[in-house]
Structure 1
């Protein structure tokens, strides 16, 4: 019997994209999954959009925050509720390819892998392909991940049976990076990357990656607040991060030729 995969999807004012996201899960070739939607007090019609899915699919569940609490709180709430052998993540504006779970779970079971991730394609805000792919590293140690976040959260999966449920600190941004650091550290083994692009990431105009000042600020908080490093050590880590991010990680993005 296939292992159960719990998929965690926070939502906030996601009416424009959430149907496509949910359908990408429904269309998975791997069928033993539960999708846990966590609404973070949306002010648009997100809940109306997801209601027909809830009525039709018993393995799609909805949790509702009484106030806007941020992605970390929402993800952690979903993780606590999850029943899966594996925990996966999919944000409310991204999509999975139909073979995503089938390929990834088989890969993890074959390689006795606790944490895995994959390459992913980029699409613009309207969903049109940008003909670019972010290529996953083959292996990823804790020390390498500490330099920069190499795991696209929409592709990450961890084995909850191996080391329990992992949650993330309550930071408004970049909390997924901290979760993957904790998972690899707890596992004691490097994460393994899958070269095939198994998902598509939506590049938003107001995303954190488009604002370099915000990027630096939130990454500093990962080191100082999330990991508890001193100010001096956090600044040192930021220098390493900037070098890694702009000189090494940027080379991961490749143009896809038609």
Structure 2
């Protein structure tokens, strides 16, 4: 732990990858441009077990500059297992996680390690304006940075821009590979309930890639809806409030009224955005029924007071230029703007 609290700890950047070699090269180029003054290595954790990717990593022109290594993580599907395998092979005192299809800003590692001077688990906001098409942005509207990393229970670090002291990550057993989505949220919640602190910067330091084809978009949205419903149901006994049945009915009513048969000039919703929302809420329904996520909350606060009282003093949500203490009552915004957009892709 001591080395990870120094200004420039040794860092292991872990990238879970599956079938995205062309996009991965954009991320590796961005990592090569980092302004970080300390030593860092880059670990490609291949969840698809591709011989082509293994060869690509072994012969990559940035291999020496990035201290690039390849790890086969195809034994269990999903980004959680891929991150865990990468962490097992990591030599750094600090772990920094990003995604293969995104592009990190040049000060990304510096910002994460700076936050880690005061917190055990850290994360930053992301942006969607620079690398996505107008169609993709219309299908998945962006959430402002001050809304990212928040939920109705506890704050979380986004998997596309997450950092953690290596010994803390291993002490917690890494991410839960039973989650096909929301594994980053689950890890963040579990860390806070175990007594570790979480810091989140509202600086948008990752260009986050959205789905630009309808079928992948719908599949992702369904998994996110199902995964987060599973997470909420799993954590109900730990203080996570149930999903209000009245809210579920309200959103389905809006979706029915805003269906594609109604002109978009009236609904102000694109067909892709509507399809994504339907898929997310369908996943939520299936997961919610399976994991008993739904209920009738007694009050806004009563079901989560015990968990929040123990964790809130260890959480800090930092704007881009100033620091402020996060208040649990600020997390009541709609999950649709933050969670379903900024969860890890499956």
Q: Is the 8 A contact 1:3 1:86 kept in 2?
A: yes
- Secondary structure (helix, strand or coil) at the match of 2:71 reads strand
Instruction: Say if 1:24 and 1:95, in contact at 8 Å, map to a contact too.
Output: yes
1:244 aligns to 2:334 (yes or no) = yes
SS in 1 for 2:191: helix
Task: Indicate whether 1:89 and 2:179 are aligned.
Answer: no
The Cα offsets for residues 84-125 of structure 1, whole Å up to 9 and x where unpaired, read as 22111111101110111112212332xx22222112111455
For structure 1, the residue ranges without an aligned partner over 5 or more in a row are: 254-258
**Between structures 1 and 2, the one with greater strand share:** 1
Q: State the shift of 1:224 in Å.
A: 4.1
User: Who is 1:46 aligned against?
Assistant: 53
Q: Report the CA distance between 1:209 and its aligned residue.
A: 8.5
Secondary structure in 1 matching 2:199: strand
Deviation at 1:126, TM superposition (A): 6.4
For 1:87 and 1:75, how far apart are their aligned partners in 2? 10
Which of 1 and 2 has greater Rg?
Answer: 2
Out of 225, 228, 237, the position equivalent to 1:219 is: 228
* Counterpart in the other structure of 1:121: 127
Q: CA offset at residue 7 of structure 1?
A: 1.4
Q: 1:25-174 counterparts in 2 under 5 A?
A: 25-30=31-36, 31-42=38-49, 45-53=52-60, 55-57=63-65, 59-65=67-73, 67=75, 69-109=77-117, 112-122=118-128, 123-125=130-132, 134-136=144-146, 143-145=153-155, 150-161=156-167, 164-166=170-172, 167-170=174-177, 171-174=179-182
> What does residue 176 of structure 1 align with?
184
Aligned to 1:256: none
TM-score by length of 1: 0.74
Correspondence for 1:14: 20
C-alpha distance in structure 1 between counterparts of 2:63 and 2:169, whole Å: 34
Q: Deviations over 1:170-219 (max 9, x none)?
A: 22222222122222223443x222122111111123246863x4432222
Please give the alpha-carbon distance, in whole angstroms, between the structure 1 residues aligned to 2:119 and 2:219: 29
Distance 1:140 1:186, change over 3 A: farther
- 1:116-138 CA-to-partner distances (Å, cap 9, x unmatched) read 21121114556999695641469
CA distance in structure 2 between the aligned counterparts of 1:65 and 1:6, rounded to whole angstroms: 16
Question: Equivalents in 1 of 2:52, 2:168: separation in Å?
Answer: 38
Provide closer, same or farther for how the CA distance between residues 75 and 233 of structure 1 changes in structure 2, counting only shifts above 3 A: same
Pairwise CA RMSD? 4.0
| Per-residue Cα deviation, 1:218-256 (whole angstroms, up to 9, x for no partner) | 222223468888967522499x9997314x748x99xxx
Between 1:70-79 and 1:37-46, the stretch displaced more is: 37-46
TM-score (norm 2): 0.58
